[in-house]
């Protein structure tokens, strides 16, 4: 049985739309970017410290401040104290010493 081309194209489009919707609804959550304020940045060690309302919710924050190694994206400018900074962070737990967990901060200065 042969179907006309427009019917086949419409069916293919509906299948793609259904797949997209299933992926959006059932797919993994993406991390939300948070905006914070740069407290300090050491370009030699890439140690970045951030503060602000959203920082307290991130794992690895201590007393309202999140410090970690900045993973620079492309050619984004170096952060300076007081700059707004949009980021996501991850914590990699160290097996040998749990108190020495590593925080990685991915983000850039928010213009």
pTM over 0.75: no
Contacts (Cβ under 8 Å, ≥6 apart) of 65: 39, 49, 50, 51, 55
Specify burial of residue 85 (Cβ count, 10 A radius: 0-12, 13-18, 19+): buried
- Domain ranges for the chain, please list them: 34-109
47: helix, strand or coil: strand
Tell me which fold the domain 34-109 belongs to. Answer: OB fold (Dihydrolipoamide Acetyltransferase, E2P) (2.40.50)
Query: How crowded is residue 71: how many other Cβ atoms within 10 Å of its Cβ?
Result: 15
Question: Which residue, 63, 68, 92, is CA-closest to 79?
Answer: 68
Q: What is the reported pLDDT for 99?
A: 56
Contacts (Cβ under 8 Å, ≥6 apart) of 68: 47, 48, 60, 89, 102, 103, 104, 105
Q: What is the pLDDT along the chain (111 residues), one digit of tens a residue?
A: 677 888 778 888 888 877 777 766 666 555 556 889 999 999 999 999 999 887 887 888 888 899 999 987 777 889 999 999 988 888 887 655 555 568 899 988 887
Locus of tokens 């991390």: 31
The secondary structure element, H or E, covering residue 2 is: none
């Amino acid at each position: 049985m042969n179907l006309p081309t427009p019917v086949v194209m419409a069916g293919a489009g509906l299948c793609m739309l259904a797949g997209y919707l299933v992926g959006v609804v059932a797919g993994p959550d993406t991390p939300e970017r948070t905006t914070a304020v740069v407290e300090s940045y050491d370009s030699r060690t890439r140690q970045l410290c951030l503060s602000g309302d959203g920082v307290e919710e991130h794992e690895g924050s201590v007393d309202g401040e999140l410090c970690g190694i900045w993973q620079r994206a492309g050619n984004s400018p170096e952060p300076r104290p007081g700059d707004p900074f949009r980021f996501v962070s991850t914590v990699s737990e160290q097996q040998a010493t749990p108190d020495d967990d590593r925080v990685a901060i991915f983000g850039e200065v928010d213009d």
